[in-house]
Amino acid sequence: MTKCDLILALDVPEEAQAMAVLDRVGGDLRWVKIGLQLFTRHGPDFVERVASRGYRIFLDLKLHDIPNTVASAIESLAHLPIDLLTIHASGGSEMCRAAEAARRKSRPSLTLLAVTVLTSLDDAALRETGVNASAQEQVLHLARLATSAGVGGLVCSPLELPVLRRELGGAPVIVTPGVRPSGSALDDQKRALTPDEAARAGASYIVVGRPILKAADPAAAARSVRAELAAV
């Protein structure tokens, strides 16, 4: 089993807050996730500034549009020092193939991650959108669609990890949000596991935000999660 690592979700509204967290966490972390909140406020230059501190970057934009637009967006992002980038698998196989072609052309070192079903959604929420499959069934359906189109990575709840590894093997990089250390609040996550449970189930990376961001000692919280992963 590939060793699982921690990605800190920088889910804060301002650059100053993000940098203050990174100052406190320091070398106890290798990866950070930059999402829509910070990217739309501070732009590509913010990605450069975070990367200049030595962190590897997961840019979580969840691109979802017509194939040409998504491909063009990936080409526009290719100059940034990013290692992981999300698209929505629900954009369809044509969009996924276009995204993968743009990645190969413009930034071969980048891994695309196809988001399957958001961890804030459960079966009832899916039914509201017209999807009658269970969350697990829909995750597997979209994961097969994306990997068949050549996408090298996936995003799913940790609860779907066993079925994805059983069906797809060890090849896809799988990133799992919805991970909560023991004793942490679930917040808006409806399908969650602890870090060691996610690692044992086959996660390549876990994403943790609020349990570290809101900790009295973020560095100690990050060390605790990474130690839990290392023990698996």
Report the DSSP beta bridge partners of residue 207: 7
* Cα separation, 87 vs 202, whole angstroms: 21
Residue type, 216: A
Confidence band (pLDDT; 50, 70, 90) for 183?
A: low
Structure tokens at 214: 């809101």
- According to DSSP, the β-strands at 56-63 and 84-88 are parallel
Confidence band (pLDDT; 50, 70, 90) for 189?
A: very low
Handedness of CA 174, 175, 176, 179 (dihedral sign): positive
* Cα separation, 93 vs 96, whole angstroms: 5
Handedness of CA 6, 11, 16, 21 (dihedral sign): negative
Mean per-residue pLDDT for 108-135? 93
Handedness of CA 133, 196, 154, 52 (dihedral sign): positive
Residue ranges making up the domain that contains 149: 5-230
Q: Which are the catalytic amino acids?
A: 62
pTM of the model as a whole: 0.93
Confidence band (pLDDT; 50, 70, 90) for 178?
A: confident
* Cα separation, 8 vs 226, whole angstroms: 11
Number of domains comprising the chain: 1
pLDDT at 21 over 90: yes
- According to DSSP, the β-strands at 153-155 and 84-88 are unpaired
User: What is the separation of C-alpha 56 from the centre of its chain, rounded to a whole number of angstroms?
Assistant: 13
Residue type, 198: A
The CATH number of residue 164's host domain is 3.20.20.70
